[in-house]
Amino acid sequence: MSAAIELSGVGKTFTMHLQGGVRLSVVSGVTFSVQPGECVVLAGPSGTGKSSILKMIFGSYRGERGSILVRDGADWVDVARAEPRAILALRRNAIGYVTQFLRAVPRVAALDVVGEPLVSAGTAKDIARQQAADMLRRLNIPGPLWGLPPATFSGGEQQRVNIARGFLPELPVLLLDEPTASLDAANRAAVIGLIAQKKKRGTAIIAIVHDEEVRDAIADDVVDVTRFATAA
C-alpha cells in the first residue's frame, strides 16, 4: 500500500441534543485514497459534507464509522480511533490544514503566526521567521504588515496569512478548505503555484474548491461527495 491517505467506509452522524436528540446523518460509506504527489478535489454542492470529511481526516470531528488511515513515516495512524496525543503528534509530523478562517492569538505578529508550526516542530525562531517572511512575500503581503497582528488585516490578507501558515511546513499531507475563496486573480495564481510545488515534492493533497479555474489547475482526481451524502 503506497497511498498517503486511505478512507474506507467512513460515516458521520451528529446527535443534536438541544433539538430533542435529532440524529443528523451527514455522510456514510466514504471511501477513497490519495497517493503522494496527488491532489484530490472533493466536489459537490454546499452542505453535502465536504468540510466534514476534511475535519474528520484532521481529527476535529470524531470519525464514527470506518477507518481513516494517514501515513506518518513508516506507520499508519487511524485518525478515527487514535488517542488525542497521537492525533496531536500526527498533526505535527504529517498533516497541514488550511481553512478560510484565521484563528490567531491576539497580539502575535503575522511573522510569528506563520512561523509557529515550524517553531513547535523544533525549528529555531529566527530561521522560522526567515522562512515565514519568504512565504508572506510570495503571497504578496506587504512587508510593513509582517510585524503586526493579523487581527487588524483585511479579509483577503488574513486568508493569505492562513495559507502561508499552512503551506510553510513540509508535511506529507495537506488539507485545503476553500483556500482561494476570497482571493484576487494574482493571489489565486500564487496559491496554484504553491500547490503545484507541493505536489512535485510528493505532498498528498485533498482540497475543496468551487472555483473551476483553480480546480482544473490543481486536480488530479475529483471525488463527487454527493454519492456519500445521506442528509436530506
Task: Give the separation between CA 92 and CA 231, rounded to whole angstroms.
Answer: 33
User: What residue ranges bind another protein (CB under 8 A)?
Assistant: 14-18, 55, 59-62, 84, 87-88, 103, 105-108, 119-120
Q: Which three cell numbers stand for residue 56?
A: 474528520
Task: Give the separation between CA 100 and CA 189, rounded to whole angstroms.
Answer: 17
87/190 with CB nearer another protein: 87
49/59 with CB nearer another protein: 59
List the end-to-end C-alpha distance of the chain, in Å, as a whole number.
35
Q: Where are the beta strands (DSSP E) in the chain?
A: 5-16, 22-34, 39-43, 65-72, 75-78, 95-98, 173-177, 204-208, 221-224
Task: Give the separation between CA 156 and CA 139, rounded to whole angstroms.
Answer: 11
Please, what is the minimum distance in Å from the beta carbon of residue 15 to another protein? Answer: 7
Task: Give the separation between CA 209 and CA 161, rounded to whole angstroms.
Answer: 18
15/46 with CB nearer another protein: 15
Please, what is the minimum distance in Å from the beta carbon of residue 30 to another protein? Answer: 16
Please, what is the minimum distance in Å from the beta carbon of residue 44 to another protein? Answer: 21
60/197 with CB nearer another protein: 60
Please, what is the minimum distance in Å from the beta carbon of residue 212 to another protein? Answer: 29
Report phi then psi at 8, rounded to 5: -140, 125
108/222 with CB nearer another protein: 108
Please, what is the minimum distance in Å from the beta carbon of residue 189 to another protein? Answer: 31
62/201 with CB nearer another protein: 62
Helix 185-200, helix 125-138: angle, nearest 10:
130
Q: For residue 222, list its beta bridge partners.
A: 41
54/163 with CB nearer another protein: 54
In the chain, DSSP finds a helix count (H) and a strand count (E) of 7, 9
Please, what is the minimum distance in Å from the beta carbon of residue 108 to another protein? Answer: 6
Q: Are 221 and 33 in contact (CB under 8 A)?
A: no
Please, what is the minimum distance in Å from the beta carbon of residue 39 to another protein? Answer: 25
Task: Give the separation between CA 121 and CA 127, rounded to whole angstroms.
Answer: 12
